[in-house]
Structure 1
Amino acid sequence: MDETTQWEYRVISLGGGLRGTKDEQMETELNALGDEGWEVVGLTSRENSQRITLVAKRPLTPTARRQRTMPEGSW
């Protein structure tokens, strides 16, 4: 039987001010996330706000799992 995949998530807010989110800013951030193995699974914006929030996930690696259970400097 296969082990169920565990995920780690990242939430990023983009934009703001009067101009909102520029396409170039969004493309740069999406490419950076993709390079690190993240997949965007959600996007939301608040009413009357120029900011958007991205939700991304990627499989939880043993290294990331260790960092969560033993943050740097905790030992």
Structure 2
Amino acid sequence: MPDTERGAVQSQASEKIRVSLDISPELYSKLQSLARDIHGTKSDVLRKSLALMDVAVQAKKSGKKIGIADRSDQLTTEIIGFEY
């Protein structure tokens, strides 16, 4: 089995890595709430969050801005904090 980070265990049969992490009760509550909101699991929330973070970081590296647009594609909110 290849080396893994501390707290991560790889299962060769399923090609997945189990990760253990410490988070605050407030963050855990938010994770549960988001899972309910998307009708998914906490793992689904983390996977989707990582995908969104990846898109945001790549956009920022390309000199683009990240934001939220309304239904008419008007940018209403710029999201900051993706500096690397």
Q: With structure 1 as the length reference, what TM-score do the two structures score?
A: 0.29
Greater strand share, structure number? 1
Instruction: Report which of the two structures shows the higher radius of gyration computed on alpha carbons.
Output: 2
TM (norm. structure 2) is 0.26
